[in-house]
């Protein structure tokens, strides 16, 4: 039966029905008023009339109906009744009462009679308003009871400021009872107050003794941003108490009908999000507006977000190039739905196929190129070194050469921190690609600004450890970490791609831009945090197992090579790395030899030349068992 009521409650009652109900309520209110007056002042026949159908009653009824239409009081959705609805009902009854009193005075002046005694008009106002509002409150409460379920979570509000109190009040009055507010958590050890809305205020110490199993904490988006920017440990302390943490969206994103529907679980990206990036929007617009922009790897996590970041600058056309059919299709579906105004082309192409790339450049004439296509899974590339060089080095070379030939204005290469003192073929192949990009910028006949951007791991990207950990947690564990001391730099996709656009705009050519990645994070700490965010206890509910370093993997990543130094730019999060690579005749010849070795699929020869070009490359292990493709 409850299920039937829930299904019925999903539909909204037509406004005409609400008007009929309101009319019936005021009709009953008038009957009650006339009955009360009749009992106090009986009519001549000394009989009490239980039902009155006099013209006076219908005149008052008509006045009330007129004000229903004037103030549109029946238009609101009853289940979401709030203060505004109460005020609207008060308006209709108040104006009805005032109008009736005025009519009474006019009639009395001319005929010496009244519709009803003045006191009766006042009584009617009280009865009508109370009944109309009571009806709405009853319906709202019934809806809450029907929609409520055992899944309702006990929730604490983080903070005791005015904003936090307003959030609590909104959730308490919400019709969709997903959360039951049971208290507030003070950000200070000693809260000044003891209660808000009769609900207790806890310090962290007090909460550790009173926390209920399965409870959660709700924090505003602004407060969460503030806590992460100041490196506060408060969120971690809450997670250690086995509390799930939810965040409320920013005020402009609140749902009109239910605040609860916008409350989402805090994820790892939220906790590692740093202060918002300030972009030089004017300069970015001047570079990308009305331009044809080619993005390689456009179906991947980085490439697709670069496309999203470009959209506000209104490029003339975006060329989405990728060799992966399905991700590119998903990206095109997204653009068709969310940005139908964008002019774009989707191109299936392999960056190692120079003839296909030649066709793309000739037919679409890109003015700006963002090169994000790459192989990036370290163990996979260790097993297939020639393919890593084919895509990461030769693919980059193809795009660089064509960009010079077709007079592309700006070429932005997306590199990686693994290119610094590489211990794996993936990092070494990206470092050699960096070198080739820099060598092209030294060509006196070159008119293209070649820019390299280098940053660490990106949260949520296809090559990130985060999706892998999520799958392991969802399957009940264990979560596998290669080494207890392994660390990595992390930033969000959004932040990384904004910085790529900014660096691409500020570069003059030949620079390697290094992004401020903050402090390196232990992967084991990351795993523990993800387990807690999922509502589990590390090494109790979900085990953490150390599996050993994988082929080519090193404990620590770096953003600058040993012989490199940096200089600041106008952007606090972007530095310029000065490379120590010598672009002499011998090294230029090595670059040519590397190209020939890769094209011939001569793995051993290519790796030998690679070591000469990138002397800091110290492979942990190399597998040359990959199948040679003719």
Using an 8 Å Cβ cutoff, are 97 and 125 in contact?
yes
pLDDT at residue number 503: 85
Please list the rounded mean pLDDT of every run of 10 residues in the chain (630 residues): 44 73 85 79 54 79 85 68 72 86 82 78 85 78 60 80 82 71 81 76 82 81 78 80 80 53 72 64 86 95 92 94 94 93 95 96 96 92 94 96 95 91 92 92 87 81 75 88 84 82 85 80 85 84 87 72 63 74 81 92 93 87 37
The pLDDT assigned to 6 comes to 47
Delineate the domains of the chain, giving CATH numbers in brackets: 2-147 (no CATH), 153-266 (3.40.50.720), 283-459+490-516+559-613 (3.40.50.720)
Q: How buried is residue 205: exposed, middle or buried, by Cβ count under 10 Å (0-12/13-18/19+)? A: exposed
SS (H, E, C) 532-567: HHCCCCECCCECEEECCCCCCCCCCCCCCCCCCEEE
Helix (H, G, I), strand (E, B) or coil at 517: coil
Cα–chain-centroid distance for residue 242?
A: 24
Active site amino acids: 418
Decide: residue 382, CB within 10 A, 0-12 exposed, 13-18 middle, 19+ buried.
buried
Concatenating the DSSP letter of every residue in 59-91 gives HHHHHHHHHHHHHTTT-S-GGG--HHHHHHHHH
Q: Which two structure tokens, joined as six digits, stand for 400? A: 């660089």
H-helix or E-strand containing 509?
Answer: none
Q: What was the pLDDT predicted at 311? A: 93
What is the pLDDT, as a whole number, of residue 574?
Answer: 80
Cα Rg of the chain (Å, integer): 35
Q: For tokens 């990351």, name the residue.
A: 526
Q: Which two three-digit tokens encode residue 273? A: 């999000």
Residues 245-275 as b/e (b if ≥16 CB within 10 A, e otherwise) read bbbbeeeeeeeeebbbeebeebbbbbbbbbe
* Residues 341, 324 contacting (CB under 8 angstroms): no
Read off the tokens for 113.
């009679």
pTM of the model: 0.67
């Amino acid at each position: 039966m409850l299920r039937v009521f829930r299904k019925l409650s999903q539909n909204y009652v037509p406004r005409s029905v609400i008007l009929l109900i309101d009319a019936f309520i005021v009709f009953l209110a008038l009957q009650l008023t006339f009955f009360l007056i009749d009992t106090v002042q009986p009519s001549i026949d000394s009989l009490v009339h239980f039902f009155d159908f006099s013209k006076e009653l219908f005149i008052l009824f008509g006045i009330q109906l007129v004000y229903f239409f004037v103030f549109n009081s029946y238009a609101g959705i009853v289940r979401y009744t709030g203060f505004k609805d109460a005020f609207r009902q008060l308006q209709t009854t108040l104006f009805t009462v005032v109008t009736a009193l005025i009519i009474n005075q006019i009639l009395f002046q001319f005929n010496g009679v009244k519709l009803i005694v003045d006191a009766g008009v006042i009584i009617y106002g009280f009865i009508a308003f109370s009944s109309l509002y009571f009806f709405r409150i009853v319906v709202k409460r019934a809806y809450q009871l029907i929609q409520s379920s055992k899944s309702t979570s006990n929730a604490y509000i983080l903070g005791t400021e005015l904003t936090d109190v307003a959030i609590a009040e909104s959730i308490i009055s919400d019709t969709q009872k997903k959360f039951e507010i049971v208290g507030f958590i003070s950000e200070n050890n000693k809260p000044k107050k003891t209660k808000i809305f009769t609900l207790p205020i806890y310090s962290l110490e007090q909460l550790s003794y009173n926390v209920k199993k399965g409870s959660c904490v709700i924090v505003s988006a602004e407060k969460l941003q503030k806590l992460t920017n100041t490196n506060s440990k408060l969120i971690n302390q809450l997670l250690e108490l086995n509390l799930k943490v939810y965040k409320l969206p920013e005020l402009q994103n609140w749902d009109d009908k239910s605040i609860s529907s916008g409350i989402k679980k805090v994820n790892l990206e939220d906790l590692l999000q740093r202060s918002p990036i300030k972009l030089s929007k004017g300069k970015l617009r001047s570079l990308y507006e009305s331009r044809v922009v080619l993005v390689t790897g456009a179906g991947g996590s980085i490439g697709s977000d670069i496309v999203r970041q470009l959209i506000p600058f209104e490029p003339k056309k975006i060329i989405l190039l990728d060799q992966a059919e399905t991700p590119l299709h998903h990206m095109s579906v997204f653009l068709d739905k969310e940005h139908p105004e964008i002019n774009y082309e989707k191109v299936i192409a392999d960056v190692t196929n120079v003839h296909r790339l030649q066709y793309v450049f000739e037919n679409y004439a890109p003015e700006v190129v963002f090169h994000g296509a790459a192989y990036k899974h370290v163990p996979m590339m260790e097993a297939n070194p020639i393919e890593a060089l084919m895509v990461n080095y030769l693919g980059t070379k193809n795009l660089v050469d064509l960009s010079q030939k077709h007079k592309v204005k700006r070429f932005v290469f997306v590199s990686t921190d693994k290119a610094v003192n590489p211990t794996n073929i993936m990092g070494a192949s990206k470092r050699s690609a960096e070198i080739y990009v820099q060598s092209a910028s030294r060509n006196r006949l070159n008119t293209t600004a070649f820019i390299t951007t280098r940053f660490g791991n990106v949260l949520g990207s296809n090559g990130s450890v985060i999706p892998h950990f999520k799958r392991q947690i969802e399957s009940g564990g264990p979560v596998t970490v290669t080494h207890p001391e392994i660390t990595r730099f992390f930033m969000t996709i959004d932040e990384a791609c904004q910085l790529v656009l900014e660096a691409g705009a500020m570069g003059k050519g030949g620079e390697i831009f290094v992004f401020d990645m903050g402090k390196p994070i232990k992967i084991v700490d990351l795993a523990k945090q993800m387990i807690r965010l999922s509502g589990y206890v590390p090494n109790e509910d979900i085990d953490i197992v150390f599996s050993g370093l994988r082929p080519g993997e090193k404990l620590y990543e770096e953003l600058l090579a040993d012989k490199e130094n940096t200089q600041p730019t106008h952007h606090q999060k972007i530095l310029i790395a000065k490379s120590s690579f010598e672009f002499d005749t011998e090294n230029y010849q090595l670059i040519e030899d590397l190209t020939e070795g890769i094209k011939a699929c001569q793995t051993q020869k290519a790796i030998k030349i690679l070591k000469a070009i990138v002397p800091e490359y110290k492979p942990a292990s190399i597998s040359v068992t990959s199948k040679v493709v003719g």
